[in-house]
Structure formats: structure tokens, C-alpha cells
């Protein structure tokens, strides 16, 4: 990159926002990958070795979900992660719309069978990440300071874990939602090979 390109890129707000958004997503995915190892109970012999393998393959030290999926094909599903900020809206008595985040949903909105806001937000996130819902997937997303997963795996819950919510659809599709720690402890470390 020559000097003019560098300064044009530096002062191009749209390019910087795209780069910043990409870097934020990559950092988020790197935290997810580390969480998967930790919550599955995998004792990684050398984090440095993993980071170096990732850097050799991707050119960056941030462990992305795409890298994880190619490096660990024995993991039972395609791993992806996305923050879900805005998920819908609610109308007040005066008819005004208020934007909603996941943490603002009521129990009634979570358990609604028709036009469920949470299912719609997860479906949109899966679409953005280009996930085929008919193939095994695990989508990691945060709500406030806790991480949750949406998945379609038939994994028996680990002993003493938190509850799971499941939606079954006519097309024989299933979406399960539970805390990431519960899910990954149920998956366990058998998929990992050093």
C-alpha cells in the first residue's frame, strides 16, 4: 500500500467502520473459541501452538470460528458466533414503537409460539452467518454478561446443568437454546485431538 492509499484508507470513515466491525467480530469469535475449549473441559497443552497454527493458516492470531471449524472437524457441529443487539420492537399503549434487545424480552415474548422474537432474531443471525439450519450448528451469542447457544444437536444435558428451551418446527427443524457452559460441558472434550 502506497502513502496515498494509506492516508485515504485512514481517513475513509466507511472503510474504517468496516475494518473496525470486522476486527470486533474476529475478537469476539476468538473469545468464543477459547470459551469452547474451556467449557468443554479441553486441557489445551499449548495455547501458543494453537495461535501459531491459526496464524499460519489465516494470517492472524485471532482464532476465528471458520478456523476452528476447519482445524477441529470432529467437533459435532459448525461453530459460529454473533452478537444479537436489536431483536425487534414493542408497541406501548399509545402505539409508539420501542426497540428491544434480547435482555428486554418478557417471559411471554420468549414463550410465544407464533412470531417469536427470539427465534426470529436467531434465524436472522444464522442467515447472516450463512448457516444451513438442516445441518448441525452451534451459534454462540451473549445476553448481558452470560453466553448462550442456539443449536440443533441432540445432546443429553450434563448433570446439574441449567434448563434448555426447545422449539420444534413443522419442517422437522429444532432450535435449542441454553447457557453455553451447560451445553459445552454436555458436549465434552472427546472431539479434541492434539
A 10 A CB-CB count for 15 gives 12
Evaluate whether 65 touches 31 at the Cβ level (below 8 Å): no
Asked if the model's pLDDT at residue 10 lies above 70, the reply is no
A 10 A CB-CB count for 141 gives 22
The domain of 41 spans 3-72
- Higher model confidence: residue 87 or residue 186? 186
For 39, 41, 105, 122, 164, the CA distances from 118, given in Å and listed in that order, are 24, 29, 8, 6, 14
Residue 111's pLDDT is 77
Evaluate whether 139 touches 151 at the Cβ level (below 8 Å): yes
Residue 135's pLDDT is 93
Residue 31 forms part of a structural domain: yes
Label residue 11 by pLDDT band (50, 70, 90).
Answer: low
Residue 177's pLDDT is 92
Residue 33 forms part of a structural domain: yes
Number of compact structural domains in the chain: 1
Residue 23 forms part of a structural domain: yes
> Which three cell numbers mark 4?
496515498
> What mean pLDDT do residues 27-48 have?
94
Residue 124 forms part of a structural domain: no
Asked if the model's pLDDT at residue 89 lies above 70, the reply is yes
Residue 63 forms part of a structural domain: yes
What is the pairing mode between strands 146-151 and 137-143? antiparallel
- Higher model confidence: residue 134 or residue 159? 134
Residue 123 forms part of a structural domain: no
Assign 157 to helix, strand or coil.
coil
Amino acid at each position: 500500500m502506497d502513502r496515498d492509499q494509506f492516508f485515504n484508507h485512514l481517513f475513509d470513515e466507511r472503510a474504517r467502520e468496516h475494518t473496525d466491525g470486522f476486527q470486533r467480530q474476529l475478537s469476539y469469535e476468538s473469545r468464543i473459541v477459547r470459551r469452547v475449549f474451556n467449557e468443554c473441559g479441553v486441557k489445551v497443552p499449548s495455547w501458543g501452538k494453537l495461535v501459531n497454527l491459526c496464524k499460519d493458516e489465516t494470517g492472524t492470531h485471532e482464532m476465528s470460528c471458520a478456523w476452528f471449524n476447519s482445524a477441529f472437524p470432529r467437533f459435532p457441529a459448525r461453530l459460529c458466533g454473533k452478537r444479537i443487539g436489536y431483536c425487534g420492537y414493542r408497541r406501548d399503549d399509545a402505539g409508539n414503537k420501542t426497540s428491544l434487545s434480547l435482555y428486554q424480552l418478557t417471559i411471554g415474548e420468549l414463550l410465544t409460539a407464533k412470531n417469536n422474537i427470539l427465534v426470529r432474531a436467531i434465524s436472522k443471525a444464522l442467515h447472516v452467518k450463512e448457516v444451513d439450519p438442516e445441518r448441525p450448528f452451534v451459534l454462540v451469542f451473549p445476553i448481558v454478561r452470560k453466553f448462550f447457544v442456539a443449536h440443533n444437536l441432540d445432546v443429553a444435558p450434563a448433570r446439574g446443568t441449567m434448563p434448555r428451551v426447545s422449539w420444534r418446527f413443522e419442517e422437522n427443524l429444532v432450535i435449542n437454546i441454553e447457557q453455553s457452559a451447560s451445553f459445552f460441558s454436555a458436549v465434552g472434550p472427546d472431539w479434541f485431538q492434539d
